[in-house]
Structure 1
Amino acid sequence: MAWLRAVPGVRALTGYRREWLSKDVVAGIALTTLLVPQGMAYAELAGLPPITGLYTTILCLLGYAVCGPSRILVLGPDSSLGPMIAATVLPLIAADGDPRRAVALASMLGLMVAGIMILASVARLGFIADLISKPTMIGYMNGLALTILIGQLPKLLGFKVDADNLVGECAGLVRKLADGATVPAAAAVGVSGLVLILLLERLLPKVPAVLAMVALAILAASVLDLHEHGVGLVGPLPEGFPPFTVPDVRVDDLVPLLAGALGIAVVSLADTISNSSAFAARTGQEVRGNQEMAGVGAANLAAGLFQGFPVSASGSRTAVAERTGAKTQLTGVVGAVLIVLMLVLVPGLFRNLPQPALAAVVIAASLSLADIPGAVRLWRQRRTEFLLCVAAFVGVALLGVLPGIAIAVGLSVLNVFRRAWWPYNTVLGRVPGLEGYHDIRSYPGADSLPGLVIYRFDAPLIFANAKSFRDEVRQLAGTDPRPRWIVVAAEPMTDVDTTAADVLHDLDTALAVRHVRLVFAELKDPVRRKIEAYGLTRTFDPDRFFPTVEAAVTAFSRSTGAEWAVGSDTRPLDPR
């Protein structure tokens, strides 16, 4: 039974305290007021029937309660995943538009995301969450927010636009507005609902804004008979608990579903890790990325087997749980049970919910995704990262959500490679009044020792940058007057691979012809052992390695009799 105690839900249950029960129940009741309308709204955002959002919410809460390591993290349908699900599923049902086929495809997508998460957890690939840098994530989310906003505006105003991309949706929206397609009653419900949510969230944050708006919208639809005025309603929901269903999809659907599942898994994991880290910091918990992947995988597995779709962590719902005193995942279980009771006892509760009200919920969520101040800060602080942000934004806006996430991940990885290919490098000098040796770009008046160049290369020396290192050292060796020693301040070099070792061998041979000696200072022991394993010590004698830069400078001074001079002609290398 030791394996059973290793399950996070079982472990939490054995340590449960009686005084937590009332707090978890109250928090679960408060959480349900947000889970129901958001679950339905995000299902429609994904192009699925509203009821699937409730099925998904129920099962993912139960799945994560059993296998999730976080005490209060809340999972569920998410506004950032909705467009990705729609972008994956809708093209596959374009020919017939069958909602049952759409549900089957979305459920299979959930199972694929679950499989990816669980396999990644077993392989300890939690670092995958770091594949999207913050600048590219800001650009991606801003593009996603704009895509959701433009896509939901027609629904908010009471009409539909058929388009495959953001440009087409914008053009269709303008045409419909010009043709007078707006339904006044629908627009009144949608716009007033959106304004009400935004005002309540700003002025009365403790009031459940979404629930208040939904309740008023249902009341207005019932009293004013809005359906007769052209306002679409949700209609009756199926009764009872969602049935266990193995999704039935065609074999030729699996490849496009897998492509979408990979993108959804990366975004879901990044959302989950960032949210769990933020809330764990407040409660003193430790975030375990691999266990989080297993928990999210279990939540997606449960949802996918009961007509649900992929899920992620929700910062807004977790914040509600935290503010209302949640102590454990029992809060989510209470929320799931209440939704089941609603479907069993009062399935017609939301039949008069206007569709524009759901659009208002989605648009309000999309506005919270956008981070315009973050983009402005990047512009002010670092233009290269701002350009990455803009590229990710443009990728989502012009190419679509799934290509956008691929672009975001690709740009993040390329940015890492760029820094490895062209790392910062500089010449060091001695500054009066400061210990050690310092960058002569920061201290242009630094002293230098005639015949000696101290060169620092701020990166591991690997295949991608070895030739850049070689070229910079050759440039230094070719200055006038020619240096006799080039001391590599190697403390930042955390690695030397075999390609770089071969480059070092050839570089040393070429420098020897010019009577320039290449030596190393502060080289880490593990890197030194690699150099020895490569056989480089046959070229580089032990007396070419010094424990400190100061030791290398002292050795050069003793060997040549050189003394410090002020105002050397040595110039810093061009920054990359």
Structure 2
Amino acid sequence: MKLANITLAPTIRKYNKENLVHDVITGLIIMAVSIPISMGYAQIAGLPAVYGLYGSVFPILLFALFSTSPQFVFGVDAAPAALVGSALLGMNIEGGSKEALAVVPVLTFFVAVWLFAFYLMHAGKLVNYISEPVMGGFITGICTTIILMQVPKLMGGSAGTGEFLELAEHIIKAVRQFNMPSLVLGSVSLVILLVAKKLVPKFPMAVVLMVLGAVLTNMLPMTAWGIKTLDAVEPGLPKWNIPDFTVVPIREVITISLSVAVVIMAETLLAENNFAQKNRYRINDNQEILAFAAGNMAAAFTGCCPINGSVSRTAMGEQYQGKTQVMSIVAGLSMLILLLCGTGFIGYLPIPVLTAIVISALLGATEFHLAAKLWKVSRTEFFIFAGAFVGVLFLGTINGVLIGIILSFSEMIIRSSKPARGFLGIQPGHRHFRDLNESSQIHAIKDVLIYRFSSNLFFANVQVLQQDIEDALEQKKDTKAVILDASGIGSMDITAAERLGNLYASLKAQGVRFYITEHIAGLNEQMRKLGLGYLIREGCVRRTTHIALKDMGINRPYPLEDGVDNEERSASRKRVDNRVQEFVWAFGSNSEDEIEKQIARQIEQLKKSGDMEKLLHGSWSHMDAFDEDEWLEHLEEHLKEIVNISGKDERTLAARLEEHRQEVHDRIAQEHPELAQRFKERRHRLDEHLKERRPDVYELVISLRDNKKKEE
């Protein structure tokens, strides 16, 4: 399997220097807020807190190298950490133990392998089937979950874990034991951030608050007041090691790592696409999966837990106008410098201040405004949003996504089963068919039902089509034809094809003609494969509704019901209705073979009836002029066979066919002079074709033409 084309550092190429200041400041802020988040999630995953900082260096740098998203940030995050932590508990491994330090990198390695497999399988295309309400509900659910996790830290407690019920229980406990100085410091910081976001959105208030927090810790007895600060970390970089694959059964690791990889792919891709749509740029879903795999492989070799896209840090980057992955590179390199020579600073950062910064960013990433909009314009899509939101909040990330997808597909099926449809007519003096319900001036064509169905035809909605037509026939007993305007039908399934065949048989038994018109040529191929090719062969499938009416002998101006006058009101020249050959449109690359088959059937009919007129047109009466000319050319190839059956003189019959072809040419030259040259060039190609297949007939035809010229 070949790897797709990969572009390295796509968001940094042709870098605009004007973005540098914003990217650097944003990168520093992301590094700072990553410290408490990463350390906390590393502990949830069963690792020492410092591994959260290790996971914020090389994985972020590698992700930035491959990612096509200019603003998304990678890092140690909630969902993968919680899954790994619960997996360790299931294996009876104590968090922070030597065994945990050995097992977690193995899990991370196989997560990276799964993600690389997803990249090879182009699994990123699955995101195309997830609607905006699902994305909005999903991202809002994640943001709300993380906010609820962080709330206890504002009050001096620890971060919560789990879904809504567990988080609510943890918040209640934190309220009972809250620390007033922590609550005041955190609340004041949050208010300042929210006000600054409104008044001075471009000002890096988060950096100012972190510096002020460190100064206050150094000047005031913060610890004595019960205000927690981050734990001090020993300086030094992570060591690169190959994971020990013997510490845990591979079968168990593969199962656990698959679920983690699916969560990382689904959660991160959904969030990335959400930010991309909101900020009007495009990402390469498949290369993003490769970026996930690269970041997690780096995490595995540095002993870290699986790494995920971070909504909170991305929201922070968006707030402070980070424009490219330079901000991720700055965040990774500044974390590296911090680990080497600045870990002492970490111990001075107050947790309530950092928590307020995270919550402020997450509040800006929620999409409750989308829910309010959906409530006004589409209650169905609102409930899809709510389903994804509640699913994430109460059942976790992957279940929330699954609920949203199920709701989306259910809504799509329900909508497709009740498509836009209606019966068509014409406004007197006009030529275009329009919905009868559109205006009282639109009238149905006498004795004809024209029915438009605007949806792909499948098992869930074909009954609607059949019922509509049957109900209309009950009301109009004198109906002579039903024309299905299939311009909105792009495909049909086998159930729909069977029902359509039954409808045709029922109409035929009642003496009512049936046509399918206006659809794309590809639908004809589907119908042939589904066993409806006989409708095409019998002339029931026509390119336009006008041609179908003409086939019935109904010409413009069409007679309308109730004797309504429909005289043409324009003196403009007759419009060209048949610029495209119908046979090519209907049968595609098989058009020549199909003409031959139809002529063979007509020759068999000639043996029985002796009717030469039917032979000239076949079941496709009122053909396009180009089609008619080609039909006659094919008949010339069968000249000797027709002579033997009919008993007519060969030269007389050839002259009759040539005379008919000349009539077609004259009609084209008179009605549509702009097509005459094209018709002449095509006639030459057909002659060459005849010369190649039947040189004897060709010589006869040429001699007839020469004699005609001499007579003129």
Q: Normalised by the shorter chain, which TM-score bucket?
A: 0.7 to 0.9
Deviations 1:44-96 (CA, angstroms, capped at 9, x unpaired): 367356544433332233213433345x4453238xxx442354234334566
Query: 2:387 is matched with which residue?
Result: 391
Structure 2 CA distance for aligned equivalents of residues 390 and 287 of structure 1: 26
**Counterpart residue type for residue 30 of structure 1:** I
Superposed, which structure 2 residues align to 1:158-307 within 5 Å?
158-160=156-158, 164-174=162-172, 176-177=174-175, 179=176, 181-245=177-241, 246=243, 251-252=251-252, 254-276=254-276, 281=281, 287-306=283-302, 307=304
Deviations 1:413-463 (CA, angstroms, capped at 9, x unpaired): 333333344433222232457652223344365311233222222222234
1:104–1:434 distance in 2 versus 1, CA, 3 Å: farther
Query: 1:92 is matched with which residue?
Result: 87
Deviations 1:243-289 (CA, angstroms, capped at 9, x unpaired): 235386665465354234313312211333444566674xxxx7433
Query: 2:147 is matched with which residue?
Result: 149
The answer to whether the aligner puts 1:311 opposite 2:308 as a matched pair is yes
Q: Specify which of 384, 402, 405 is matched with residue 406 of structure 1.
A: 402
Q: Specify which of 506, 509, 523 is matched with residue 513 of structure 1.
A: 509
SS of the counterpart of 2:423? strand
Alpha-carbon deviation of 1:527?
Answer: 1.4
CA RMSD of aligned residues (A): 3.8
Structure 1 CA distance for aligned equivalents of residues 4 and 170 of structure 2: 56
SS of the counterpart of 1:39? helix
**Counterpart residue type for residue 116 of structure 2:** I
1:65–1:395 distance in 2 versus 1, CA, 3 Å: closer
Percent of pairs with identical residues: 22
**Counterpart residue type for residue 271 of structure 2:** D
**Counterpart residue type for residue 84 of structure 2:** V
Q: Which has the larger radius of gyration?
A: 2
Structure 2 CA distance for aligned equivalents of residues 393 and 214 of structure 1: 32
Superposed, which structure 2 residues align to 1:411-426 within 5 Å?
411-426=407-422
**Counterpart residue type for residue 34 of structure 2:** G
Structure 2 CA distance for aligned equivalents of residues 238 and 472 of structure 1: 76
Structure 2 CA distance for aligned equivalents of residues 86 and 291 of structure 1: 23
**Alpha-carbon contact 2:490-2:523 (below 8 Å) kept:** yes
Structure 1 CA distance for aligned equivalents of residues 556 and 285 of structure 2: 56
**Alpha-carbon contact 1:521-1:545 (below 8 Å) kept:** yes
Alpha-carbon deviation of 1:408?
Answer: 1.7
Query: 1:430 is matched with which residue?
Result: 426
SS of the counterpart of 2:345? coil
SS of the counterpart of 1:428? strand
**Counterpart residue type for residue 346 of structure 1:** G
1:213–1:443 distance in 2 versus 1, CA, 3 Å: farther
The answer to whether the aligner puts 1:129 opposite 2:138 as a matched pair is no
Deviates more, 1:410-419 or 1:232-241: 410-419
Structure 2 CA distance for aligned equivalents of residues 258 and 509 of structure 1: 53
1:442–1:102 distance in 2 versus 1, CA, 3 Å: farther
1:196–1:561 distance in 2 versus 1, CA, 3 Å: closer
The answer to whether the aligner puts 1:42 opposite 2:37 as a matched pair is yes
Superposed, which structure 2 residues align to 1:532-547 within 5 Å?
532-547=528-543
**Counterpart residue type for residue 550 of structure 1:** H
1:440–1:132 distance in 2 versus 1, CA, 3 Å: same
Structure 1 CA distance for aligned equivalents of residues 506 and 59 of structure 2: 64
Query: 1:354 is matched with which residue?
Result: 350
Deviates more, 1:462-471 or 1:367-376: 462-471
**Counterpart residue type for residue 306 of structure 2:** F
Deviations 1:272-322 (CA, angstroms, capped at 9, x unpaired): 3444566674xxxx7433333323332333234331432327644654786
**Alpha-carbon contact 1:489-1:520 (below 8 Å) kept:** yes
Query: 1:571 is matched with which residue?
Result: none
SS of the counterpart of 2:153? helix
Query: 1:572 is matched with which residue?
Result: none
**Counterpart residue type for residue 335 of structure 2:** I
Query: 2:118 is matched with which residue?
Result: 120
**Counterpart residue type for residue 121 of structure 2:** A
Structure 2 CA distance for aligned equivalents of residues 360 and 160 of structure 1: 14
Query: 2:62 is matched with which residue?
Result: 63
Structure 2 CA distance for aligned equivalents of residues 280 and 539 of structure 1: 47
1:227–1:461 distance in 2 versus 1, CA, 3 Å: same
**Counterpart residue type for residue 264 of structure 1:** I
1:367–1:113 distance in 2 versus 1, CA, 3 Å: farther
Structure 2 CA distance for aligned equivalents of residues 161 and 68 of structure 1: 30
**Alpha-carbon contact 2:9-2:64 (below 8 Å) kept:** no
SS of the counterpart of 2:424? strand
**Alpha-carbon contact 2:140-2:366 (below 8 Å) kept:** yes
Superposed, which structure 2 residues align to 1:490-529 within 5 Å?
490-529=486-525
Structure 2 CA distance for aligned equivalents of residues 130 and 5 of structure 1: 19
SS of the counterpart of 2:126? helix
**Alpha-carbon contact 1:109-1:310 (below 8 Å) kept:** no
**Counterpart residue type for residue 263 of structure 2:** G
SS of the counterpart of 1:227? coil
Structure 2 CA distance for aligned equivalents of residues 287 and 35 of structure 1: 22
1:170–1:243 distance in 2 versus 1, CA, 3 Å: same
1:5–1:432 distance in 2 versus 1, CA, 3 Å: closer
Deviations 1:184-217 (CA, angstroms, capped at 9, x unpaired): 1221222122222222322222222222222222
Alpha-carbon deviation of 1:344?
Answer: 0.5
Alpha-carbon deviation of 1:145?
Answer: 3.0
Structure 2 CA distance for aligned equivalents of residues 330 and 386 of structure 1: 37
Query: 1:32 is matched with which residue?
Result: 27
**Counterpart residue type for residue 147 of structure 1:** T
Structure 2 CA distance for aligned equivalents of residues 387 and 5 of structure 1: 38
Bigger relative contact order (CA 8 A; separation at least 6): 1
**Alpha-carbon contact 1:185-1:230 (below 8 Å) kept:** yes
SS of the counterpart of 2:372? helix
**Counterpart residue type for residue 291 of structure 1:** Q
SS of the counterpart of 1:349? helix
Structure 2 CA distance for aligned equivalents of residues 106 and 558 of structure 1: 78
Unaligned runs of 5+ in 2: 565-712
**Alpha-carbon contact 1:40-1:50 (below 8 Å) kept:** no
Alpha-carbon deviation of 1:375?
Answer: 0.9
